[in-house]
Structure 1
Amino acid sequence: MRIGVFVGASVADLMTLDGLLARIKQAEDDGFDSFWIPHISARGYDALTTLAMAGMQTSRIELGVGVVPTYPRHPAALAQQALTTATATNGRFILGIGPSHRPGMEEGFGIPYDRPALHTREYLSVMRPLLEEGAVQFNGEFFNCNLELAALERPDCPILVSALAPQMLNLAGQLADGTVTWMAGPRTIETHITPRIRRSAENSGRPQPRVCVGLPTAATDDENAGRRKAAESYARYGDLVNYRRLLDIEGVESPAEVAVIGNEQSVQRQLEAFAEGGATDFVGNIFDVPGEPDSGQRAYDALKALVGKI
């Protein structure tokens, strides 16, 4: 299982652009498999621009965005930007996309959150041919396109979908390269996410998909303190319908209950459970535990020590 770091899930993760690029370079030097950032329109920098810059300052580490909301961007525009980023990173860029959530799209952008599964299917049907072949002709309900995207270089650009519901998981298996999850616990990965997306990919003649698990992560001897902090920092995710569905499948009430929290041995056991359930990648969003000033570094070191060992 590949192991990476994810920065940007909470306001506490905000940093300067130079600081973020330095974090990415350090993660590569420390041997991590990947580094991920979100694309949150209300916070931080444009994710693809940032990762393109990081790609030109690194040589090995995979660089992922988790995820770009699809409704505000035309698939052809995102394809062009993704191709540029994939070229700048020498094929180390992972493009995560998803329809996001109704409140952000309707209240923030004023865009109707209409039939997200169909919207995502059409989005992939336009974007994937542009990335892979440089041209697309498509007529649908959301998009009608006859476009070309010429490029001197056309590196691989894996597409992962933030697929959580059954219909979206089937879609991700059929048309994408896997899924990237957030707030999915081990039971959910093993019984809900992995079997559906693998079955869909197999039925569609596609390679086995990646299942990337992103979760808050803390290394501490006081697990209760860590979970109290996680409950405070990540509470809003429990109120969003898509994540609430996953928490219900897991049988828990709060995002804090699926976070990876504990001492180094416990962190290792929790990651092993995800690997056994079919996860191909784990990406930790490290947070600090109050009263433990070294907890963030401790979690970072715990994940670093597990790279290549699970």
Structure 2
Amino acid sequence: MELGIFGSSRNVSELSEQVQKAADLGYSTFWTPQIFNLDALTALAVVSSKVANIRLGTSVVPTYPRHPMMLAQQALTVNQVSAGRLDLGIGLSHKPVVEGMWGMSFDGPVGHMRDYLTILMALLHEGSISHGGNHLTSRGGIDIPADPPPVLVAALGPQMLKLVGKTADGTATWMTGPKTIQDHVVPVINEAAEKENRPKPQVVAAIPVCIHPDKEVATEYAKRDFGFYGDLPSYRAMLDREGLENSWDIAITGSFEQVAEGMQEYVDAGATQVVAAVYGPEESREETVSRLAELL
């Protein structure tokens, strides 16, 4: 099982400690979000100079507030600094954030991402672009000697999955169960890639995980941490596909053996990497991070 770990912090030194522990335990990738604390790419550039032997991923950088040329510059810079260890996860974010917090239009999200990937992938791989799209325009080039990082897009719906299969390196999912991975995500993205004679895309599945002897306690923490995701349309659609009424029911909880079995279901469904988003009481979080490394 290729196993990643999810983490975040308001402090770069603390984030570095999390990454170092993950590297020492043998996790393949440390993923961190771009939310409302540290800037993910800046933080990972610093962390990469302190911690070796682990890949570093963003899950995910929102596309709307960051032009793809600027993101290409940042990503190539981080990949140069990290000696090619960056996995660049990007995503649309959500309408309440894009419109409510940033004051930007969320109209035509698939068209926005199509323009975004056209520009981003060209700049990462070729260094220049001339594209005038309906949503984004870019004309020019960048010169940064670094390998292009894999680009993973938070794609869940069929249109986005088809787009990503044709143009990017894979998808990074959240709030998506193994049945949906197997019956929806994997076949749609793989078919799109195959039609373009592209390699089979990565499917990186992040899931809430808690090793705890009392499932009721773990469930209460899951309700607190993940309850609001069910109100976001893209995640609600994935939960409905999975047959789950509550967003917290996606979490894998119980004994080590039960959690290991639940994570293996994602691998069997076609996920190329499973990422543990560890939650729960502090003592169980520490145990979960350490015990899951036994699956490596």
With the length of structure 1 as denominator, give the TM-score of the two structures. 0.93
CA deviation after TM superposition for structure 1 residue 154, in Å: 2.0
Alignment-mate amino acid for residue 294 of structure 2:
A
User: Could you say which residue in structure 1 is the equivalent of 2:295?
Assistant: 306
Matched, 1:154 2:146: yes
2:114 to 121, 124, 134: 121
- Structure 1, unmatched stretches of 5+, are 9-13
User: Could you say which residue in structure 2 is the equivalent of 1:6?
Assistant: 6
Matched, 1:253 2:245: yes
Matched, 1:296 2:276: no
Q: After superposition, where does 1:51-200 map in structure 2 within 5 Å?
A: 51-151=44-144, 153-200=145-192
CA deviation after TM superposition for structure 1 residue 93, in Å: 0.3
Alignment-mate amino acid for residue 110 of structure 2:
A
For 1:167 and 1:305, locate their aligned partners in 2 and report how far apart those are by CA, in whole Å.
37
For 1:257 and 1:301, locate their aligned partners in 2 and report how far apart those are by CA, in whole Å.
23
User: Can you list the C-alpha shifts for 1:242-292, whole angstroms capped at 9, x where unaligned?
Assistant: 110110000001121111211110111111110010001111111124xxx
User: Could you say which residue in structure 1 is the equivalent of 2:16?
Assistant: 21
- Structure 2, unmatched stretches of 5+, are none
For 1:93 and 1:144, locate their aligned partners in 2 and report how far apart those are by CA, in whole Å.
26
Contact 1:93 1:158 in 2 (8 A): yes
With the length of structure 2 as denominator, give the TM-score of the two structures. 0.97
Alignment-mate amino acid for residue 25 of structure 2:
D
Aligned-pair Cα RMSD in Å: 1.1
SS in structure 2 of the partner of residue 261 of structure 1: strand
Give the 3 Å change call, closer, same or farther, for CA 134–238 of structure 1 in structure 2: same
For 1:253 and 1:225, locate their aligned partners in 2 and report how far apart those are by CA, in whole Å.
19
For 2:241 and 2:220, locate their aligned partners in 1 and report how far apart those are by CA, in whole Å.
22
Contact 2:11 2:38 in 1 (8 A): no
Q: Percent identity at matched positions?
A: 38
For 1:267 and 1:279, locate their aligned partners in 2 and report how far apart those are by CA, in whole Å.
16
The size of the alignment, in residue pairs, is 296
Runs of 4+ residues deviating >6 angstroms: none
Alignment-mate amino acid for residue 300 of structure 1:
V
